[in-house]
Amino acid sequence: MAVIEIQGLSVNKRLRELSLSLPASQLIGLIGPNGAGKSSLIQVLAGLLKYKGQVMLDQQPLDQLTPRERARRIGYLPQQQHSAWALRVADIVAMGRIPWGDQDEAAITRAIEGTGIRPLLNKRVDQLSGGQQARVWLARVLAGQPQLLLADEPLASLDIAFQRQILTLFQHYAAQGNTVLVAMHDLNLAARYCDQLILLHEGQLMTQGTPAEALTPAHLRQVYRVEARVDFSTQPPMISLY
């Protein structure tokens, strides 16, 4: 059963008549050039943008969920985060449990280990590099155990090793019955790690399907204006320009 069903979604000129489904147990890559509407779609699902159309979360209208229900079921990782206070990393991760009103140590520990931030727990967040901070904020979201995890360009400030670690973590999290929607630019990583891709173009849905179905030469030509192909016979798949 699909976790999210979207019908006729429009947001000013940013998204137009978007209809798609986000199934459970899948890592879904949200791709498209700058300005395609990726961040707008994620912000709608996070409850941050008003919209026209219908968005259902497990057959419940998204805009009828209470703030606490939304915070328990949806985890949102924006492109940029900062803390107004110089909090300890351990305290930031524990904040992920606020919607539940508890300190579930098992959930917190899984988030810490999955993001590799245990050596940072006693440091202040303002003492960390951008990549380290990105992993701390992700750990906070994961500690809340959301049913739907939304991540807007979470790989941007990470080196290659941590990009792969985080995408593998997303795969495992999705395999537990959750839905993970990740906006990303690296098409090689999208082809390698994602179960499905949603390709947006000028605020509209170009296609949704497997990486092989989405990353066709015709789609790459129309959306990205490049002549390219993805070789899915290799592991990992590789994009070649020509």
CATH number for the domain harbouring residue 92:
3.40.50.300
- Cβ neighbours around 174 below 10 Å, total: 22
**Helix extents (H) in the chain:** 38-45, 67-73, 89-94, 105-115, 130-143, 160-175, 187-193, 211-214, 217-224
Q: What pLDDT shows up at residue 177?
A: 95
pLDDT at 1 over 60: no
Closest to 29 in 3D by CA, of 147, 185, 138, 143: 185
Own/partner contacts of 234-239, CB < 8 Å, gap of 24 or more, are 236/188, 236/191, 236/192, 237/188, 237/191, 237/192, 237/211, 238/188, 239/187, 239/188, 239/191, 239/215
Residues facing residue 128 across a β-bridge: none
3-state secondary structure of 73: helix
Q: Are strands 52-57 and 2-11 parallel, antiparallel or unpaired?
A: antiparallel
pLDDT at 149 over 60: yes
Q: What pLDDT shows up at residue 147?
A: 96
- DSSP symbol at 49: S
**Residues 84-139: pLDDT tens digits?**
678 999 999 999 999 999 999 999 999 999 999 999 999 999 999 888 998 999 99
Mean pLDDT, rounded, for 177-186 = 96
**Helix extents (H) in 54-186:** 67-73, 89-94, 105-115, 130-143, 160-175
pLDDT at 206 over 80: yes
Q: Are strands 74-77 and 2-11 parallel, antiparallel or unpaired?
A: unpaired
Q: What pLDDT shows up at residue 115?
A: 93
Closest to 215 in 3D by CA, of 233, 196, 234: 196
- Cβ neighbours around 238 below 10 Å, total: 15
Q: What pLDDT shows up at residue 241?
A: 85
- Provide the number of structural domains found in the chain: 1
Q: What pLDDT shows up at residue 136?
A: 94
pLDDT at 4 over 70: yes
3-state secondary structure of 177: coil
What's the domain range around 33? Answer: 2-241
Q: Please answer whether residues 125 and 133 qualify as being in contact, where contact means their C-beta atoms are separated by less than 8 angstroms.
A: yes
